[in-house]
Structures are given as C-alpha cells and as structure tokens.
Amino acid sequence: MNNPFIYGAPVFGDDFVDRDKEINAIVRDLRNGKSLVLFSVRRMGKSSLLLEIMRRHSKDFLFVYVDLYGVTSKNEALELFASAVINSAYTKVQRAARAALDLLRTLSARVVMTPEGNIGVEFGKRDLELLETRQVFNLAEDIAKKRNRRIIVILDEFQEIRSLDGVALLKVMRSRFQMHRNVTYVFSGSKRHMLFGIFEETEGAFYHFAKPIELRPIPRTVYAKFLVDKFRSQGGVIDTESIEEILDLSRGSPYVVQHLAYELFNVSRKPKYPRDVNSAVKAAIRSGSPAYSMVWDSIKSSLQRRYLLAVAAEPDVPHGASFVERYGLRSSSHVQKVVKNLDAKGITEGGAIVDPMFALWLRSLSEGVSLGA
C-alpha cells in the first residue's frame, strides 16, 4: 500500500487541505494589485498555500517564487531574485539565457546553467553598487512591461532579508517596489516580531506597504474528513479516537498532522487507539530527534531549558506564580526575559512552543520515555 500522507515538503493538488476561503481572498487582492504580507508560525502551511495558488492560477498571473530561507549574504539574495524572475518569465532555457544577458548586461553578471537545467545568475564576490541593486529589483517590472502580463513575486521567509544588510537593503527594495505598477508582491514569513518590525512599525522600511494576512489553523472538522478520506483511499479505516488524538497533538499544524498520520498508516491501515497511535507518535518523535537534539544543545541557558520543559508539560497553563514556583523559574520577570529570548530565536511565539513535535520530544525527554521501536 502506498502511504497517502506527505510531510517534510510542500503539498498541493489532492494532498492540499482546504484553505479555499484564504485562497479566494488572496487572489482577489492580487487581481486588484494589492501587495500582501502573509505570516504564521512555521509549519502552518504557508509555502503549500502559496504553491497551490500558483498551481490554480497559473493562467491568470505570471508567478515568481523566491525562497529566502537560509540565505546568507546580500549577493546571494540578489542572485536568487534575479534567477527566479528570469526562469519564471521565460519558459525555454535558450530564451531565458538571452533574456538574462540582455537584462543584466550592465551588471557584469555571469549567466550559468544549474544542475536542474535552469538559468542561474551570479554576481561574484564584489558588492553591487546601489544603482546595480536597484536594477536587479526592477527586473520583474521591466519584464512585466515587455510581456504585457501582471507578475506576482512571492518572497517566502522574507524576514531573512533583514539579517543581511540591516534596513539598508529593505529600503532599496521599498524604493523600487513602490514604483512598480505591473508587479504585485507577496511577502511571507514565520517570525512575527521581525515582520511586524518591517511592515507595521512606523520606522519599518515597508511600513503599511502590504496588507497583513495571518494564516490560522485549519478547522478540526476539515482535517478529520481529510484523514478519513486518505485512509479510505488506500483501503484503510481510521477511528474517531485516533483522529482526535492526532488533532490534539498537532495543535493545528498541518505538517504535524501529516507526519503523525504518515507514521500511523505505517503502523496499521486499520489502527487501534491508543496502542497504534502511541507507536506512531514515538516513531514521529524518533525521526525528528536528531534535529531537536541540536536545538536543545544550542540552548545554553538552564532557565530557558526549564521554561521549555515546563511549557511542553503544561502548554495551556497561565504563567502565574504557582507555575513559576513549580518549575523553578525564579520570577515572572525572569520568565518574560526567557520568552523574549526564545521568541527571538523562533523557538517560541508569545511564549508557546512553535513546533508541536518539539514539544512532544521535550515531554518524552522529561518523562524519560523510551523511543525504541
């Protein structure tokens, strides 16, 4: 039997769950030329949502998708942007290469062929001058005019830009993007406080440039039907208790729902609660353990560690005096500092652990649960 669940990569088509209301609202704004900033915690399905919009509306718009996650330098960001624009605008490699040479001839850019058969743009190690940087960020508008088509540029994990060149690069982007009439921008990110600083604070480089949209959890009833249908598609049956447990543990994360369901299907096509669900949870925690161990090892503060263990054990308990005393967290002011630091690292959001699977791993750690098969 083929496992009908997918995790660890964006999903679309038949594997994409719901979000019709959000898609309709986003597409309506895009048709009206309104730029958007889409935010949520990690693994809430932003990338899948954006890719599904691209799939459904490929005839309505020319989409450019730029994934900025993990970008480490200004030049790398500019190369990613230029390459994505050119590859998206021109379907044939030969035409893309000619377009790249024409559009970038004044930048001393190097045009290369990537292992995937796409066009890559390289600027070398030198820092691009301001005029050159502006030219790169004008690429989409220049092509949109030539092609007489509206282009939608999606900048995923946009908050990463802020760490490259302070606000200087953001200000250059704003100065170009606000002049574009044929390109609409979607800024997507998972670090709310960083995006807020860019788009909502009065001193932010993109202050009130884009309409904010928060991606919230998918309704439980929708996911329950999805789980039933997916098991049934492979001749399986999932009981109500197992569904409820998966949805409780996932805390609204599509990634975790898919991961737990994937492991549960591997255990049995007709799982029994609670035995098979417990086995699936252990398998999911075990597969993520190396990554979570690295996160844990990177946290040097014993107080931050105690806080994470506490909030993993009691996620919905107010952080009052009894909570502070019970877990040896010193004082409420110390907890506030811990939350601020962990939020900045992206481990928590408003003091809540972002990744439900990490929370489960922490609980297994504190409870000494064996993760053996």
Q: Domain map of the chain by residue range? A: 19-214, 221-367
**Do residues 216 and 316 lie in contact, with contact meaning Cβ atoms separated by under 8 Å?**
no
pLDDT of residue 371: 56
- Distance between CA 289 and CA 283 in Å, rounded? 10
What's the pLDDT at 24?
95
Closest CA to 345 of 335, 333, 353: 353
Q: How far are the Cα atoms of 73, 177, 278 from residue 85, in angstroms, in the given order?
A: 19, 14, 46
pLDDT tens track for 148-186: 999 999 999 998 888 887 688 999 999 999 999 999 999
Q: Looking at the predicted structure, is the pLDDT value of residue 347 above 80?
A: yes
* pTM (predicted TM-score): 0.85
Residue showing tokens 């649960």: 369
pLDDT-derived band of residue 28, with 50, 70 and 90 as boundaries?
A: very high
In angstroms, what CA-CA distances link 301 with 35, 284, 298, 307, 337? Answer: 40, 27, 9, 10, 12
Residue 65 predicted with pLDDT over 60: yes
Average confidence (pLDDT) over 236-250: 95
- Mean pLDDT over 89-102 rounds to 76
Minimal CA–CA distance to 210: which of 4, 12, 35? Answer: 35
Evaluate whether the domain defined by 19-214 bears CATH number 3.40.50.300.
yes
CA distance 224 to 220: 6
